[in-house]
Amino acid sequence: MDRGGGRYVTLAQVAQAAEVSLATASRVLNGGERVVRPELRERVLAAARRLRYVPNAQAQALALGATATVGLVMHDVGDPYFAAIARGAIDVATEHGAVVMLGSTFRSPEREIEYVSTLRAQRARAILLVGSGFAGAEYLRPMRAELANYRRAGGRYAFVSHHDLPGDAVLPDNRGGAAAIGRALAELGHRRIAVAAGPLAMTTVRNRVDGFVDALAAAGVARADVRVVETDFSEDGGYTAAHRLVSEGLDATALFCTTDVMAVGALLALRERGVSVPGELSLIGFDDIPIVRHLTPSLSTVALDLDRIGREAMTLVLDPSTPKRARRVTIPAHLVLRDSTARVPAHPLRTRHTH
Amino acid sequence: MDRGGGRYVTLAQVAQAAEVSLATASRVLNGGERVVRPELRERVLAAARRLRYVPNAQAQALALGATATVGLVMHDVGDPYFAAIARGAIDVATEHGAVVMLGSTFRSPEREIEYVSTLRAQRARAILLVGSGFAGAEYLRPMRAELANYRRAGGRYAFVSHHDLPGDAVLPDNRGGAAAIGRALAELGHRRIAVAAGPLAMTTVRNRVDGFVDALAAAGVARADVRVVETDFSEDGGYTAAHRLVSEGLDATALFCTTDVMAVGALLALRERGVSVPGELSLIGFDDIPIVRHLTPSLSTVALDLDRIGREAMTLVLDPSTPKRARRVTIPAHLVLRDSTARVPAHPLRTRHTH
DNA sequence: CTGTTAGCGCATTCAA
DNA sequence: TTGAATGCGCTAACAG
């Protein structure tokens, strides 16, 4: 932190220029009430304008003991899922006159913890943790401690998606949405099904996979007939998973990817391998990010109102009331069947051997 | 700004717990040098850990006269173009130990100015303005004033894309890229061409349209044969523009959209109208956002290394050196011809009348 | 209504 | 090396 070359003009300078006391200047410029004589008021305003005074938010925060900063920590702003949520969250924050500090962890648990610590140092008024939490004590223990300290100091926080941690949360209906997919595929006659899952250490992934598998079981599809491939939570992950499945001799008529982003990668791989979608393989994703309706075939998926998720979460965390119990806002998920899913072919091919 | 319920632990409390002076505690916890006796040092560290002390960044900033905050102001985080740039910028900022305050203006010039003012109040160390600037004195005059004051006070700023304002800038080669498109279309035999342009008040749009039209002129396509439709800088804009063109009797064999996002909308409209791409109409965009390669037909475009743009810009603005002249970093743009463009049909249809 | 004064939490002189 | 005192820019009592 080097000191900049120039100087900002201070309230004291404005007061001096207007020939009033510091307190008076403070009252007209930053105090809401109009308890200042119009004449002085004008003098101060004029001086401030002339000197182009801008209050020092840091100093204000220090004096007031409260900030207008809110933290937004997400896995990857570059990912359309998170970008859409960020958009809604930022919009609400701005409406509330809050400034957003954004952190992109690139899916590193350590960076996530670091960000919370940084935001704590910034005395952020609230923190939003967006994106699936991680499993494992190396993450949970320090994160729990960070958040506990933060809350103890008066900070508010909330999660988007499940985190195995105490706190308010906005929860997309992952299980329900995935279950709807499972039922739909079963109804379409699919019996041998593959899943391209992100890291199972992520609660979101687990919920989606579990919801899917359970619904399938209820529909009479045995767990053994569901092949789950664990891979990366990204387009590349989906791509890799699909390639692997095909190479192993694709013994499935449908593929569920735990996110649309992964499904996009899978679709590319399937095209490269000459697997027709949905002719040979039905494909379905999750999230309904903006682009997937434009794919060919357009992607079936489960729609989540991402913008709303961001808005709800920011609203939750900016709401001054402090209920005793943790609040959960569930965001409904609804199935959107487009062109990438179809009834299982009458004479399904058994196994393919490419290579 | 209400005061939170709890309290943060302060340096003074740590000092007291460790039974040392405030100054000593400050030295071991936040001063870099090791001018403190190991024994005291340990005591302080232990106390800090036990009390879970986190320095107050606001107070530090006030005392030091410098912040670690950088501002990132963009049109829309939800737009993949901006999201990709944000990603690169945030990554670099984090490497430099800086915290990012993100603002999404939703393309409102007023909000952009407000954000700069807010960041000035936050005493941000640097500000990055991402996205095309606006034309018009109502925007330029106050913005120029904001930035001048900011710089005068020691703040650094830079632009991504042209802004008709003085300052360092990272400039995608919009003219060059658009010219390459113009030449390519001419070579493919296209002579009657349409352009779906974003608001011409935006410098980026003007540069792209001008580069395109000029290259076409150089290739022998008269300005009169280029139909420019001005519309919204969004998917809806592209959609609307394409619908309008078709309704008017599509007298063109190629359509250039000034951004990929617009091209996505246009493609949808064309599909709805039954216009085959590239059979009847070649389509081309600009930016090469991640998704467009997955469309059918895959979209021809001009590729820009978005992540690099964000990185370069943040690097520029975080570089402590202060050259006399404004720096410009040009980001090359290269043509990517995919499946949405083709040679003009031998017997081009003259006019279509739908409706 | 207005001015004076005392902190907010911290880094940093200056003495000891 | 360590501690006491001063100030960063501002708000909020507290007096006038």
Taking a C-beta distance cutoff of 8 angstroms, is the pair B314, B157 a contact?
no
Is B123 within 8 Å of A320 when comparing Cβ atoms?
A: no
A60 CA → C2 C1’, Å: 21
For the segment A208-232, what is each residue's pLDDT rounded down to a tens digit?
A: 999 999 999 999 999 999 999 999 9
Is B83 within 8 Å of A77 when comparing Cβ atoms?
A: yes
Clarify whether residues A163 and A189 are in a common domain: no
Q: Which residue among A303, A319, A348 closes a domain?
A: A303
Where would I find the H helices in chain A?
A: 11-18, 22-30, 38-51, 57-64, 80-95, 109-121, 137-152, 174-187, 203-218, 235-247, 260-272, 306-318
Nucleotides of D under 7 A from a protein CB: 1-5, 7-13
Taking a C-beta distance cutoff of 8 angstroms, is the pair A146, A120 a contact?
yes
CA dihedral B336, B340, B346, B347 (to 10 degrees): -140
Residue B290 gets the label, from left (phi > 0), alpha (psi -120 to 50) or beta, of: alpha
Clarify whether residues A208 and A277 are in a common domain: yes
Clarify whether residues B113 and B152 are in a common domain: yes
- Whether A285 has a pLDDT exceeding 60, the answer reads yes
CB atoms within 10 A of CB A2: 10
For the segment B63-85, what is each residue's pLDDT rounded down to a tens digit?
A: 999 999 999 999 999 999 999 99
Q: Is residue B351 part of a domain?
A: no
Number of domains in chain B: 3
Which of B52, B53, B77, B321 should one mutate to test binding to chain A, selecting the residue with the greatest count of A CBs within 10 A? B77
Could you give the angle at the alpha carbon of A310 between the alpha carbons of A319 and A164, nearest 5°? 80
Q: What is the structure's pLDDT at A295?
A: 95
Helix pair A11-18, A38-51: axis angle to 10 deg: 120
Nearest to B93 by CA among B306, B328, B323, B312: B312
Clarify whether residues B139 and B49 are in a common domain: no
Task: Tell me the C-alpha distance between B132 and B163, whole Å.
Answer: 6
Name, in order, each residue with C-beta under 8 angstroms of B292's C-beta and a sequence gap of 6 or more: B260, B263, B264, B285, B298, B299, B301, B338
Residue in B1, B66, B122 closest to A2 by CB: B66
Residue A293: exposure state from Cβ atoms within 10 A (0-12, 13-18, ≥19): middle
CA dihedral B298, B304, B306, B307 (to 10 degrees): 100
Q: Is residue A247 part of a domain?
A: yes
Which of B11, B104, B340 should one mutate to test binding to chain A, selecting the residue with the greatest count of A CBs within 10 A? B104
Nucleotides of C under 7 A from a protein CB: 1-5, 7-13
Structure token pair of residue A51 = 């000197």
Cα distances from A23 to residues A52, A101, B2, B249, B300, in angstroms, run 19, 31, 20, 69, 62
For the segment B104-145, what is each residue's pLDDT rounded down to a tens digit?
A: 999 999 999 999 999 999 999 999 999 988 888 999 999 999
Task: Report the pLDDT averaged over residues A153-175.
Answer: 94
Taking a C-beta distance cutoff of 8 angstroms, is the pair B331, B173 a contact?
yes
E-only strand ranges, B219-313: 226-230, 254-257, 282-284, 301-303
Nearest to B248 by CA among B223, B221, B275, B268: B275
List beta partners, residue B6. Answer: none
Clarify whether residues A229 and A291 are in a common domain: yes
Q: Is residue A344 part of a domain?
A: no
CA count, 13 A, side-chain hemisphere, A63: 8
Domain span at A156: 69-171+306-332
A28 CA → D7 C1’, Å: 24
Closest approach of chain A CAs to the CA of B295, in angstroms? 5
Residue in A57, A84, A153 closest to B4 by CB: A153
- Whether A24 has a pLDDT exceeding 70, the answer reads yes
Q: What is the structure's pLDDT at B31?
A: 75
Q: Which residue among B260, B287, B303 closes a domain?
A: B303
Taking a C-beta distance cutoff of 8 angstroms, is the pair A148, A119 a contact?
no
List beta partners, residue B127. Answer: B71, B157
Q: Is residue B1 part of a domain?
A: no
Element (H, E) at B196: strand B193-197
Q: What is the structure's pLDDT at A280?
A: 96
The 8-class DSSP code of residue A344 comes to: P
Clarify whether residues A286 and A189 are in a common domain: yes
Q: Which residues of B touch A94 (CB under 8 A)?
A: 103-104, 111
Clarify whether residues B249 and B237 are in a common domain: yes
Is A3 within 8 Å of B90 when comparing Cβ atoms?
A: no
Q: Which residue among A42, A64, A86 closes a domain?
A: A64
B21 CA → C3 C1’, Å: 35
Clarify whether residues B56 and B81 are in a common domain: no
List beta partners, residue B130. Answer: B74, B160
Clarify whether residues B178 and B299 are in a common domain: yes
Is A6 within 8 Å of B154 when comparing Cβ atoms?
A: yes
Cα distances from A294 to residues A204, A336, B245, B258, in angstroms, run 25, 14, 20, 19
Q: Which residues of chain B have pLDDT under 70?
A: 1-6, 32-34, 346-355
Number of CB pairs, chain A paired with chain B, less than 8 A apart: 194
Query: pLDDT grade, residue A355 (50/70/90)?
Result: very low
Task: Report the pLDDT averaged over residues A91-101.
Answer: 96
Closest approach of chain A CAs to the CA of B66, in angstroms? 5
Task: Tell me the C-alpha distance between B41 and B35, whole Å.
Answer: 9
Clarify whether residues A185 and A117 are in a common domain: no
Q: Is residue B86 part of a domain?
A: yes
Task: Tell me the C-alpha distance between B216 and B252, whole Å.
Answer: 14
Q: Is residue B354 part of a domain?
A: no
Task: Tell me the C-alpha distance between B15 and B35, whole Å.
Answer: 16
For the segment A28-86, what is each residue's pLDDT rounded down to a tens digit?
A: 998 766 678 989 999 999 999 999 999 999 999 999 999 999 999 999 999 999 999 99
B13 CA → C14 C1’, Å: 24
Q: Is residue A111 part of a domain?
A: yes
| Sign of the CA dihedral running B78, B79, B82, B83 | positive
- Whether A294 has a pLDDT exceeding 60, the answer reads yes
Residue A10: exposure state from Cβ atoms within 10 A (0-12, 13-18, ≥19): middle
Which of B54, B292, B306, B324 should one mutate to test binding to chain A, selecting the residue with the greatest count of A CBs within 10 A? B54
In CATH, what number is assigned to the domain containing residue B236?
3.40.50.2300
Q: Is residue A215 part of a domain?
A: yes
Residue in B60, B68, B294 closest to A264 by CB: B294
B169-202 residues labelled b (16+ CB within 10 A) or e (exposed): bbbbbbbbbbbbbbbbbbebebbbbbbbbbbeeb
Taking a C-beta distance cutoff of 8 angstroms, is the pair B286, B255 a contact?
no
DSSP assignment of A92-108 equals HHHHTT-EEEEEE-TT-
Cα distance from N-terminal residue to C-terminal residue, chain A: 58
CB atoms within 10 A of CB B335: 18
Mean pLDDT for chain A overall: 92
Is A80 within 8 Å of B84 when comparing Cβ atoms?
A: no
Is B100 within 8 Å of A102 when comparing Cβ atoms?
A: yes
Tell me phi and psi for residue A59, to 5 degrees.
-65, -40
Clarify whether residues B281 and B188 are in a common domain: yes
Query: pLDDT grade, residue A250 (50/70/90)?
Result: confident
For the segment A104-159, what is each residue's pLDDT rounded down to a tens digit?
A: 999 999 999 999 999 999 999 999 999 988 888 999 999 999 999 999 999 999 99
Clarify whether residues A196 and A166 are in a common domain: no
